[in-house]
Amino acid sequence: MLEPILVEDCTYTKLVPSLEIVLNDLNENSTHHDYMVALVIVLLAEAGFYLSSTNNNYSRPKLKSLHVPKDWKSQETGVYEMYFQPETVPDIKCKLVAFPLGDTLILNFFPLIDGKITYTITVQTLKYVNPYSSDLCGRYMRLKEISYRFKDKLSTPVRSDILHKAGVMGPSLQAFPTELKLRILRLLDVCSLKRMAQCCSEFHELCSDAQLRRYIMLEHIGGRGNKATGEQR
């Protein structure tokens, strides 16, 4: 059987090594929320976010060197707070805050940048953690589901915001340079441009660019007239 690489590859008999290493930092008094947040540490690492170093010497982290911070949870409130650094832009830090509410865990993740957006998901911990299992492999359930949900709703949007802020190319449209975004918008028709303007404030501003709108009008409205009369442009 192949060795699992990502959390979603875990089986009932074999955990991914990075998760197994993190769980070694927990003890018999650890709660189901502890196990969930430990899982989140690994999911963030898979997405390129690693626990912030206490020194200024940044070194490329490894999945097999993950750990649970000693001060990860307030003993008074039970709230978890940790700082992370994206591997691609280590100068920008992010913060994870997890609030336990009964058997529910509210996860908040956001970059420490101007105009930050806080991304939030609510997790029913007992849906993914079995606190009564006698072995670690049976401690988790539905790992593929929580992995996809976490990355889609938290880590991917935060990474896009960071890359956009840093002006670094990324896998999302939002992370593209403004020049490239405008080039893409020039390929749209009038109706599509109106829809793009409704996506977010950034694209509303870009779609309102006078030169872009003039180009669209000439290309899609003026161009139709030229084609109808057989004129060459």
Judged by DSSP in three states, 166 sits in helix
**Angle separating helix axes 143-150 and 32-46, nearest 10 degrees:** 60
How does DSSP classify residue 4?
P
Sheet strands side by side (includes 49-51): 49-51, 80-86, 94-101, 104-111, 119-124
Going from N- to C-terminal start, the domains of the chain cover 7-166, 177-229
This prediction has a pTM of 0.75
pLDDT values of the chain reduced to their tens digit, one per residue, 233 residues: 455 668 888 888 888 888 999 999 998 899 999 999 999 999 999 988 999 865 455 555 666 778 999 899 999 999 999 999 998 888 999 999 999 999 999 999 999 999 899 999 999 999 999 988 888 889 999 999 999 999 999 999 999 899 888 887 666 676 676 777 888 888 888 888 888 888 877 788 888 877 787 778 877 666 554 444 444 33
- Inter-residue contact 163 to 170 (CB < 8 Å): yes
Q: Does domain 7-166 have CATH number 3.40.640.10?
A: no
Distances in Å between the Cα of 42 and the Cα atoms of 37, 49, 139, 164 are 9, 9, 15, 24
Distance, in Å, from the CA atom of 96 to the CA atom of 5, rounded to the nearest integer, reads: 24
**Residue corresponding to tokens 């930092």:** 25
